[in-house]
Amino acid sequence: MDSGEQFDRGYATKDRRWFLPVIPESMQIYEYDVSPAGAFFKNRVVVDFTKAENPSLGLERDVSNKDDPNAIKIIGYSKGDFGVQKYDLGLLPEEIARRIVQGGFLGHVQARLRALRYGEYKEVRFEILGPRGGKEFYHDI
């Protein structure tokens, strides 16, 4: 899949990459500007992912999390010469994970990469896409 990386944005800087992968016709945006919860920007894995080639994101249930039964991991992927590299970037914010799990959306939603920043401040920003027509139910949970 094409990462949707954009180079023609006037507000892009040398340490920030912008992405806009195509939204499938059957999907719509449920959550707009999301970042992993916690102090992820200090994590070496995040630093490596912000510079990765052909990056994309996935969501994976964190069944080993004893503190939050709804926890969902944000997984980064990059494709290179030696196959696919996987990066554990942190967790979805608690409220978003709760809506996804309790609403039965896990497996039906996806993360759409928006921006990576890799300078002094590390940043991963994305959107949550879900099935077209289900957004109202999602936000009522």
Does residue 58 sit within a domain? yes
- What pLDDT is attached to residue 66? 94
**Residue 89's closest CA among 32, 48, 30, 29?**
48
Tell me, yes or no, whether 4 lies in a domain: no
The CATH number covering residue 38 comes to 3.30.70.2330
Q: Which two tokens mark 105?
A: 């959306």
Domain-located, residue 13: no
* 50 within domain boundaries: yes
Contact criterion met (CB below 8 Å) for 123 and 116: yes
CA angle 133, 26, 90 (to 5 degrees): 90
The residue segments making up the domain with residue 57 are 18-140
Calculate the alpha carbon distances from 65 to 21, 26, 70, 71, 139 in Å: 30, 31, 8, 7, 24
Domain contains 2: no
Could you give the number of structural domains in the chain? 1
Q: Does any domain span residue 83?
A: yes
pLDDT at 12: 56
- Residues 47 and 118 sit within 8 Å (Cβ to Cβ): yes
Whole-number pLDDT of residue 48: 87
What share of the chain in percent tops pLDDT 70?
Answer: 87
Q: What letter would DSSP give residue 119?
A: S
Between 9-18, 30-39, 125-134, the lowest mean confidence (pLDDT) is in: 9-18
pLDDT of residue 41: 60
Sequential DSSP letters for 62-91:
-TT-SS-TT-EEEEEEEEETTEEEEEEEEE
* Among 76, 68, 73, 64, CA closest to 106: 73
Residues whose CB falls within 8 Å of the CB of residue 14, separated by 6 or more in sequence, listed in order: 119
